């Protein structure tokens, strides 16, 4: 029998275990449809705020000579109300709506905008490393996390995911706080705060100076976070960080992730990366006698 690529992240059921990560190509329903057809099991939207944000001036992204990317797009987004209207026609694509905000009420407001949309889940961005007052600055405060998760869970019946990253407090505490407040799943990790300086002009390259490191450099760190979370807590995990091959995806499954998200690899290999990874996972499963994704999840912890 052909192995199945279907993945369950708690109550979220997907036909394929790889999703588009937040912030990557995530501002248009047309593009979501295209990515879904290209093999993504779900798409996560750009993180949305209550109001439209322009984000930082360019340069906002750069590639590193040794691989990986640093970005400080600054969460530019059209705002939750506009976005909800745009995705209202959606019927096919499992869309996970990513949200940023500073206070619990922000999240309640935003989730209510999507009342008429088909939303597979909400992902709370508690981990953007380069925008003040949202993202990590929220995630680093476990008490605030508890309040936000509690409110988000109340605002709709749709599953809620918390996305964590390496901040100034221990991310495992953020995870713990989110779980205590009823979170349905965890995405780990966001980009890691980083910078690049140009030696010829002697200045930071990004307009915001600091940005978030993504791509292959952060994979080994993301992988250990997934392993640590799954060792400490019983919660569905979505692995994110540097996945660019089927082998990377499988590493995350073995570490305890039920699915993975893909961001930077699209910049390197364009969108056929979804199909390539799906095929690779399937071949691996056939070669190794797995029939379902969940048979692999957490297997590396047994050794």
Ligand X SMILES: Cc1cc2nc3c(=O)[nH]c(=O)nc-3n(C[C@H](O)[C@H](O)[C@H](O)COP(=O)(O)O)c2cc1C
Query: Can residue 264 be called a binding residue for ligand X (CB under 6 A)?
Result: yes
Say whether residue 110 binds a second copy (CB under 8 A): no
Q: Which of residues 75-104 bind another protein (CB under 8 A)?
A: 76-79, 82
CB 275 within 8 A of CB 35: no
Report the alpha-carbon distance of residue 193 to residue 170 in Å, rounded.
15
Q: Is 35 in the site for ligand X (CB under 6 A)?
A: no
- Region of 91-99, 161-169, 201-209, 218-226 interacting with another protein (CB under 8 A): 201-209
Decide: is 279 part of the binding site for a second copy (CB under 8 A): no
CA 204 to chain centre: 27
Q: Is 240 among the catalytic positions? A: no
| Beta strand ranges found along 92-145 (DSSP E) | 95-99, 121-125
Element (H, E) at 252: helix 246-255
Residue with smaller CB distance to another protein, 132 or 232? 132
CA dist 284 to 3, 148, 275, Å? 10, 39, 14
Which residues, numbered 112-141, are part of the site for ligand X (CB under 6 A)? 125, 128
Please tell me whether residue 175 binds a second copy under the rule CB under 8 A.
no
Catalytic residue from among 117, 128, 225, 240: 128
- Residue 172: strand, helix, or coil: helix
User: What is the C-alpha R_g of the chain?
Assistant: 18
- 209 touches 195 (CB < 8 A): yes
Stretch near another protein under the rule CB under 8 A, chosen from 46-54, 93-101, 109-117, 169-177: 46-54
Q: Which residues contact another protein by CB under 8 A?
A: 23-28, 30-31, 33-34, 46, 52-55, 57-65, 69, 71, 73, 76-79, 82, 198, 200-201, 203, 205, 207, 245, 247, 263-264, 266-267, 270-271, 303
User: What is the set of active-site residues?
Assistant: 128
């Amino acid at each position: 029998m052909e192995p199945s690529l279907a993945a369950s992240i708690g109550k979220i059921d997907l036909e394929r275990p790889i999703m588009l990560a937040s912030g990557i190509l995530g501002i248009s329903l047309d593009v979501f449809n295209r990515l879904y057809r290209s093999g993504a099991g779900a798409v996560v939207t750009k993180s949305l705020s209550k109001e439209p944000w322009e984000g930082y001036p360019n340069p906002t992204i750069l590639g590193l000579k040794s691989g990986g990317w640093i970005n400080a797009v600054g969460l530019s987004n059209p705002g939750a109300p506009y976005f909800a209207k745009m995705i209202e026609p959606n019927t096919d694509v499992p869309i996970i709506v990513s949200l940023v905000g500073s206070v619990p009420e922000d999240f309640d407001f935003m989730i209510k905008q999507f009342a008429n949309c088909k939303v597979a889940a909400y992902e709370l961005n508690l981990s953007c490393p380069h925008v003040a007052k949202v993202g990590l600055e929220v995630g680093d405060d476990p008490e605030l996390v508890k309040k936000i998760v509690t409110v988000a869970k109340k605002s709709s019946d749709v599953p809620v995911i918390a996305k964590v990253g390496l901040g100034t407090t221990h991310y495992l505490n953020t995870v713990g706080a989110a779980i205590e407040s009823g979170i349905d799943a965890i995405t780990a990790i966001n980009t890691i705060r980083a910078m690049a300086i140009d030696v010829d002009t002697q200045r930071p390259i990004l307009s915001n100076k600091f940005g978030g490191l993504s791509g292959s450099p952060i994979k080994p760190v993301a992988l250990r976070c997934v392993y640590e979370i799954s060792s400490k807590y019983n919660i569905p995990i979505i692995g994110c960080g540097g996945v660019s091959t089927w082998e990377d995806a499988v590493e995350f499954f073995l570490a305890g992730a039920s699915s993975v998200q893909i961001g930077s690899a699209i910049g390197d290999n364009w969108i056929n990366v979804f199909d390539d990874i799906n095929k690779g996972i399937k071949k691996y499963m056939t070669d190794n006698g797995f029939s379902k994704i969940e048979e692999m999840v957490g297997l590396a912890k047994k050794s």
